[in-house]
Amino acid sequence: MADALGEAPQLAKHKVKYKKAFQRACNEQDEKGKLCGGHLKRWFYMADVLERACGDVKQAFGEKAEIYRCEHCRTLYLPNPEEPSGRNVAGIGRPSIFGLTLGGKNSEEKG
């Protein structure tokens, strides 16, 4: 899918890639060909002191862009449009195979 999106816009001090659908770990390879494998975490770059001093991510993507960063190699990942965006990096989940998945409460039951 990343090929269909084209190349991610590169920044001077950051390597930027597109996430694959439901990707949770970094797929960046080092000089020896070893995968990084670090977890991708939502990065709130406006709260990052070092990034505020640099400012190139804010200039390229705006103040409230959804960006993920590898916890080890610090590669930035832009979200995949096929993946639902929101609070959960792990994705939307799936129903239980044991039949224990419960629906939401009705407004009458909440009282």
Would you kindly state where each structural domain of the chain is located, as residue ranges?
A: 14-93
Q: What confidence score (pLDDT) does residue 72 get?
A: 93
How many Å apart are CA 72 and CA 37, to the nearest integer?
8
How many Å apart are CA 23 and CA 5, to the nearest integer?
15
Rounded to the nearest integer, the mean pLDDT of the chain is 81
pLDDT (tens digit per residue) in 34-56: 999 999 999 998 888 888 888 88
pLDDT (tens digit per residue) in 12-29: 888 999 999 888 999 999
Residue 81 binned pLDDT confidence (cut-offs 50, 70, 90): confident
Query: Comparing C-alpha atoms, which of 103, 43, 52, 99 is closest to residue 75?
Result: 43
Q: What confidence score (pLDDT) does residue 110 get?
A: 54
